[in-house]
A and B are shown apart, each in its own frame.
Chain A
Amino acid sequence: MTFKQRVRVSLAIVLALLVQETVVPQTKVLGVFPDVVLAVVSAGGMLGGSMNGAIIGFWAGFATDLFLTTPFGLSSLVFTLVGYGTGSLETLATSGSKAIVASIVSVASAVGVVGYATLSALVGVGGTFSNHLIRTVVVVSLVNFAIAPVAARLVRWTGIAETERTARYGAS
């Protein structure tokens, strides 16, 4: 990652976080808050590779934790794993199909939500497993499917997707 890419990745994370903290609270869908940051992390992994995905996930999660009263570090742990996991599927993203990218962002978001609930339960935060979790998983994955093109565009703007593609397949 070049200096310019690092700056842009930082800006992308801050932008996603600002949207999550200021716009999302006004847009509850069926009683569930969408997770914009998770969508950006998933797209970051898909398009930027597993290492960049893990790094983006870590910092995005760390920044997210600053605004939560749940145990600090949980979001960074989950987002790191989600970013790394989607990065391992980047060969699918290179097919260029927006539907595939959106589908994987959607599934990764669902996994992220379940992962967060599981880790929360493991560290003693009760009440995370309930019918509400199912609704949360469904809504977050559907909303993130819809916003995946925007998240992917944001990640492409950072330049890490281009670098990753060049490193993997060579300059075209």
Chain B
Amino acid sequence: MAIARRSGRPRFTLLLLVLTSVSVVTLYYRGNAHGPIAEAQRLAQTAVSPVSGLVNDVAHPIESFFQGAIHYGSLEQANARLTQENQQLTGQLLSANRYAQEAAQLKQLNGLSYLQGTPNVVAEVIDFDPSNFDNAVEIDRGTSSGVAVGMPVVSGAGLIGRVTLASAHAATVELLTSPSSQVGVRFGNNQVAVANGQGEGKQLKVNYIPPGTDLKPGEPMLTSGLQGSIYPPDIPVGRVSQSRDDPGALQQSVSLKPLANFSKLDFVSVVEWNPQQ
């Protein structure tokens, strides 16, 4: 770390640090720094993931309890005279429901028809990326389980994103909703377009659909899998929720609702598919 001296020049230091930051951003965009940066990110993830897992193990039951308390708030008021035993039973019931949901998700992931036999690794979501401008989750499987950067990640419903960082025992998955996410999609009679993420909780925006294209709400869109695509073909992405032809526009305004529920991701499947295949 640089040494700050009282006799130093703060503005010079500021200029130096700003220029360094800007250089790093520039190198990142030019792709020159991806190797060292990715290596540093892997090391950081490896160091933090055990602590993260531990905190998650402690916080998960507490979180479930509070979620249950909020969900059953009115019921609790109506049953204010319930004893401690009843509260414990409610907690146990909530836990049981959660386990049932997790079991259902695992069952869904077991034998996904759209993967056409491509091997996959089932992983548990252990963390959500704590950034307000970045939609990503962390999973508990990494390179030691065969997970690699670039691999698509799916839930029982369909595509959820791809691996952007993988350490030995954990990996980061960039979600489809991330503003930097792009996925080539196919619909109708083999027409193709590109779906872009718009941020957490928002639907995807589909670009490059010519005006006048017949597109109805509910129409499914799958990954296109065209040459050079970062996703294999035919993975369900979402359904068209809205399409509009604006006068004079060069393309239709189309919104796509992802099939996967990003707010309830417990288990996912990493498809062992390499974009270079």
Contact = CB atoms under 8 A, between A and B. Distances in A.
Contact of B13 (A55, A140, A167): A55
Interface in B45-70: 45, 48, 51-52, 54-56, 59-60, 62-63
Contact of A113 (B37, B132, B136): B132
Given A22-B55, A55-B1, A68 B10 contact: no
B201 interface: yes
Contacts of B52: 21-22, 25
Interface string B83-96: 00000000000000
Contacts of A132: 132, 199-201
Interface string B16-28: 0110111111011
Interface string A8-28: 011000000010111111101
Contacts of B128: 25, 28
Contacts of B179: 120, 125-128
B45 to A, nearest CB: 7
Contacts of B8: 51
Chain A's interface: helix, strand, loop or mixed, by majority? helix
A50 B130 contact: no
B199 A71 contact: no
Contacts of A117: 133
Contacts of A100: none
A145 interface: no
Interface string A56-81: 01110101001111111110110011
A77 to B, nearest CB: 4
B17 A54 contact: yes
B4 A18 contact: no
B48 to A, nearest CB: 5
Most buried by A among B10, B40, B52: B10
Contact of A128 (B63, B130, B133): B133
B44 interface: yes
B33 A72 contact: yes
Given A66-B40, A67-B48, A68-B131, A87 B10 contact: yes
Contacts of A58: 17, 20-21
B202 interface: yes
Most buried by B among A24, A35, A54: A54
B14 interface: yes
A126 B198 contact: yes
B133 A70 contact: yes
Contacts of A52: 4
Contacts of B3: 1, 6
A116 B136 CA distance: 17
A15 B62 CA distance: 23
A84 B127 CA distance: 32
Most buried by A among B44, B127, B130, B197: B130
A127 B198 contact: yes
A84 B28 CA distance: 24
Given A69-B180, A72-B37, 6 more contacts: A26-B63, A31-B200, A67-B44, A67-B48, A67-B131, A164-B6
Interface of B: 1-6, 8, 10, 13-14, 17-18, 20-25, 27-29, 33, 37, 40-41, 44-45, 48, 51-52, 54-56, 59-60, 62-63, 127-134, 136, 164-165, 172, 174, 178-180, 196-202
Closest 4 CB pairs of A and B: A73-B24, A127-B179, A77-B21, A73-B25
Interface of A: 1, 6, 9-10, 18, 20-26, 28, 31-33, 35, 48-52, 54-55, 57-59, 61, 63, 66-74, 76-77, 80-81, 84, 87, 113, 116-117, 120, 123, 125-128, 130, 132, 136, 140, 160, 163-164, 167
